[in-house]
Structure 1
Amino acid sequence: MQLTDAQIDEGLGRLQGWERDGSAPVIRRTVRLPGFTQAIALVGDIAQAAEQADHHPDIDIRFNKVHLALSTHSEGALTEKDLSLAARIDELVPAHAH
């Protein structure tokens, strides 16, 4: 179900570093890690979480930076799936930040 602007704002307030992409139905976060191997390891963990949730982010890796974008393409909107996966990603990041 499509989230309202108020629900999106409230959800983003609970997340770490996620921002809405203007009025587009996308939230984004960039994670900086110590190096390439940590970035790849994080992406592997995100892939497993995404498979479990059956919801897949767009991921771009640039050496030690992982750029993430979430949107529910089938709805053409942001949904609870996006906020839930973003929260799960937030839980995974600290394990790779050293």
Structure 2
Amino acid sequence: MSHFPRFQDGNREHNQALVAPLQEIADAHGASLAQLAIAWVAAQGEDIVPVVGARRTPQVESLVGSADVRLTSEDLARIEQLVPAGAVRGDRNPTPFMGRLDSER
């Protein structure tokens, strides 16, 4: 079982159900879900820059393609409708790590 709350106790199934309808939007742009997600982050404002990690060259090459995904205001509204703020279940990280995320270094 995963140590990450988003993948435990029914959270994974719930969160996968949120993601599934996004595939239609990704397909309409000839993009992967990962590319759609990065494009969505980039569309959140001029002061927002997606930071993406990848372990392999093909992953980097694929994710670079997100720069070519241009989301319309209709796309952004549909994404917000499909996955409204707070809809994801489970913390991003295990509880012991959550307290360290916002602490001063």
Please give the TM-score of this superposition, normalised by the length of structure 2: 0.34
Higher Cα Rg, which structure:
2
More strand by share: 1
Higher relative contact order (CA 8 A, sep 6+): 2
Please give the TM-score of this superposition, normalised by the length of structure 1: 0.35
